[in-house]
Amino acid sequence: MSTASASADETEDESGSGGGYLRRVVQGDLASVRVLLGLVVIWAIFQSQDSNFLTSTNLTNLMLQITAVGLISVGIVYVLLLGEIDLSVGAVSGLCAAITAVLNVKHGWNPYLAIGAGVLAGATIGMVQGLLFSGFGVPSFVVTLAGLLTWQGALLYVLGDTGTLNINDGTITGLTGTFYDDPTGWGIAVIAIAGYAGVTLWGWRTRVKAGLADQALAPLVFRIVVLAVAVLGAVWVFNDDRGVPLAVLILMGFVLGMQFLVGRTRFGRHVFAVGGNAEAARRAGINVNRIRVIVFSIASAMAAIGGILAASRLLAVNQSSGAADLLLLAIAGPVIAGTSLFGGRGSVWSALLGALIIGSISNGMDLLALESSVKFMVTGGVLLAAVIVDALARRQRQAEGRI
């Protein structure tokens, strides 16, 4: 982004120009605003068609349905930030869930050790694929496509003649079957709001002391209030049904943790640098290959976690675990929510928002009893529209010399 362009943007924003704000939304600077508006429209449409859509029971089910996809999408965001793709995450999720189930059910492993083994297997798979991609210069598309086929075969091998393996361990099934009572839910909400407010205000205070922030507190207070309303509203909905689900807390924990990693650490800055311009990052002294290996390891580890949560919810692992449209949804979500396919632009929040968008569409069409063919076409259309918007926004930013 050039200095002249930056100054122009800042002047326009400071003047309160509605046109400048709208341009930022369209170009992706405020992609979350665009996604949230889209989510409101989607919810309004489905609520008008079926009054059960916005009930606490259905919204709780919706959050449980998107947990596995959202967790996998968290890892996909990192890969997309590099400007790469990972087509193996669906198969990896199924394989690692099967490893966890087999170790626990057939070999009697402690559930925590079995889960750890499944996640470790995922991270190892990602490391191998990252080494092949970065070490031999094979395109990530080809490496992970081969991985998709390989890990599907490994899933069949691990399950053997069993086919379907039922999971009965309370610890594993409790990942998606645990709901906290009302007082605990409200306590979690208060802690989350207080924690966010504390971190936000402390960061502002630190930046002010360093001369890096404006003195105005109003925008930060507004963000804290919006978050508080959202959290309290979500807890109220959950408590009106069965309580706050552990699975949702797991998803939010990973989203927050991974967003902090990519947004507030040196590693995160290196990820954006490599995704923006790998050659420039290399000349700046960044170990590009190491960043790529770590990112692919993260993606596969998150796929493993998502697969284990999916198995927990279904109470079983079978030969189709990680198949069907899981890969499509895991990649489509972040793209729809504003993470660029071209690399160097995006946020881990897009994993959550994208999963909400796609999950809401799927859930709403299920309530309306629409055929699977319609669901696939609608989801594909939404993805194509998001990619077109991303491409147009990138073209306009290039024309303005901002990237």
Q: Enter the pTM of the model.
A: 0.88
Tell me the pLDDT band of 397, cut-offs 50, 70 and 90: low
d(CA 137, CA 263): 28
Q: What is the mean pLDDT of the chain?
A: 86
The model's pLDDT over 246-269, given as tens digits with 9 standing for 90+, comes to 999 999 999 999 999 998 899 999
Number of C-alpha atoms within 13 angstroms, CB side, residue 105?
20
Alpha helices in 210-348 (DSSP H): 218-240, 246-264, 266-276, 278-283, 288-314, 326-336
d(CA 341, CA 296): 16
Most confident option among 26-35, 184-193, 333-342, 372-381 = 184-193
pLDDT at 373: 81
Question: How does DSSP classify residue 318?
Answer: -
The model's pLDDT over 169-179, given as tens digits with 9 standing for 90+, comes to 999 999 999 99
- Taking 70 as the threshold, does the pLDDT of residue 6 lie above it? no
Q: 31 φ, ψ to 5°?
A: -60, -35
At a CB cut-off of 8 Å and minimum separation 6, what does 363 contact? Answer: 46, 53, 58, 61, 62, 65
- List the structure tokens of 153: 């075969």
Give the mean model confidence (pLDDT) for residues 64-79.
95
In this structure, of 108-122, 269-283, 328-342, the range with the lowest mean pLDDT score is 328-342
Alpha helices in 315-348 (DSSP H): 326-336
- Taking 80 as the threshold, does the pLDDT of residue 14 lie above it? no
The model's pLDDT over 343-363, given as tens digits with 9 standing for 90+, comes to 878 889 989 999 999 899 889
> What DSSP string describes 38-72?
HHHHHHHHHHHH-TTTTSHHHHHHHHHHHHHHHHH
In total, the chain counts a number of residues equal to 403
- Taking 70 as the threshold, does the pLDDT of residue 10 lie above it? no
Give the mean model confidence (pLDDT) for residues 219-247.
92
At a CB cut-off of 8 Å and minimum separation 6, what does 235 contact? Answer: 185, 186, 188, 189, 244
pLDDT at 102: 95
